[in-house]
Amino acid sequence: MELKYPSVEHMEPGHLGCAGCGAALAMRLALKAMDEKTRVVIPASCWSIIAGRHPDAALKLPLVHTPFAVAPSVATGIRAALDRLGQRDVTVMVWAGDGSSYDIGFGALSAAAERSEDLIYVCYDNEAYMNTGVQRSSATPPGAWTTTTPNLKREAKKDILTALVDHGISYAATASPSYPQDMISKFGRAKETLGFRFILVLSPCPTGWRMEEGKTVEVGRMAVESGVFPLLEVVDGRWSVTHEPSWSPVEEYLEIQGRFAGMGEGEKAFFKEWLRERWELIRARVKQGLPS
Ligand SMILES: Cc1ncc(C[n+]2csc(CCOP(=O)(O)OP(=O)(O)O)c2C)c(N)n1
Ligand SMILES: [Mg+2]
């Protein structure tokens, strides 16, 4: 298949991530839609490590490391300074894990969204606190093993996308590095949009998901095709599904990952019910359209 995405690379070939890190691939693809006038803001996470340090840094772009809960606030300040300097053509992009986005930094994220800060906020979602050794977050799916859910997570995954959309932000999307064309075009669209933009990227983690490190792209595809991770776009409140799943069996997605190995029939039924309810909401939102 002919690859139609840009050859530009804002990431060096080497980085400090684990082999098969979906979050590293996600960054590489996301940056293909960005230019060199991009400033990256990263809170405590695996990416604090993956980025490395000068002179061996993995990114070719200026990057600010922040404490766990304040990346959107630091990004707000950087945006304000750039505006004061008249540098409106510079994009500020937060690149945060699910721990800081869904949980500990959610307050700062919600506040920046509510103020319509002119930022791109990316949550690379590997569904747990991976950098500190695989602890459960509110992004961890039901039925998953983590070190803090040795008997599997009992709760559903928090729907952060809908929560952010309901702040009235200008652009929101989900993306997967297994679908590079879809992902790069969403980052391109976000770059061209003003206001608060939120992109949720599912980033398979071989270490925490207990899967083979060569299967990152394949597992990402299974997440999308089974409907577990819907590819969506919400522009000014108008929802669309950018890639219809082929509804491949959910079991295929669960069985390829060791973190779901402890699931019994009850956990599988709960997982499928969570999935069904999620899609019910998506279909309703897509149908709803905009008020006339
Ligand atoms: C206030 C605070 N609490 C805890 C930590 C320790 N810590 C550093 S990274 C991290 C995990 C972050 O998880 P997530 O945001 O999902 O990113 P990931 O590591 O999965 O990439 C934690 C708990 C910290 N740096 N600061
Ligand atoms: Mg994480």
Q: Is 50 in the pocket of ligand 1 (CB under 6 A)?
A: no
Q: What is the pTM of this model?
A: 0.97
Rounded to whole angstroms, how far apart are CA atoms 156 and 139?
Answer: 8
Residue 16 located in a structural domain: no
Query: 49: CA distance to ligand 2 center in Å?
Result: 13
Q: Report how far apart the first and last C-alpha atoms of the chain are (Å, whole number).
A: 42
* The pLDDT of residue 196: 98
Mutational pocket test of ligand 1: of 25, 65, 68, the residue with most ligand atoms within 8 Å of the beta carbon = 68
Measured by CA distance, the residue closest to atom 26 of ligand 1 is: 68
CA nearest neighbour of 102 among 140, 52, 73: 140
Q: Is residue 15 part of a domain?
A: no
Q: What CATH number does the domain containing 126 carry?
A: 3.40.50.970
Closest CA to 45 of 24, 14, 73, 25: 24
Q: How many domains does the chain have?
A: 1
Residue 4 has a pLDDT of 75
Q: Is residue 4 part of a domain?
A: no
SS3 letters for the chain?
A: CCCCCCCCCCECCCCCCCCCCHHHHHHHHHHCCCCCCEEEEEECCHHHHHCCCCCCCCECCCEEEECCCCHHHHHHHHHHHHHHCCCCCCEEEEEEEHHHHHHHCHHHHHHHHHCCCCCEEEEEECCCECCCCCECCCCCCCCCCECCECCCCCCCCCCHHHHHHCCCCCEEEEECCCCHHHHHHHHHHHHHCCCCEEEEEECCCHHHHCCCHHHHHHHHHHHHHCCCCCEEEEECCEEEEEECCCCCCHHHHHHCCHHHCCCCHHHHHHHHHHHHHHHHHHHHHHHHCCCC
Domain that holds residue 196: 22-288
Q: Is the CB of 257 under 6 A from ligand 1?
A: no
Q: Does residue 241 fall inside a structural domain?
A: yes
pLDDT tens string, the chain, 292 residues long: the values are 566 788 999 999 899 999 999 999 999 999 999 999 999 999 999 999 999 998 899 999 999 999 999 999 999 999 999 999 999 999 999 999 999 999 999 999 999 999 999 999 999 999 999 999 999 999 999 999 999 999 999 999 999 999 999 999 999 999 999 999 999 999 999 999 999 999 999 999 999 999 999 999 999 999 999 999 999 999 988 999 999 999 999 999 999 999 999 999 999 999 999 999 999 999 999 998 665 5
How open is the CA angle 133-42-209, to the nearest 5 degrees?
A: 30
Could you tell me if the CB of 99 is within 6 A of ligand 1? yes
pLDDT of amino acid 228: 98
Q: Can you give the pLDDT at residue 201?
A: 98
Within a domain: residue 258? yes
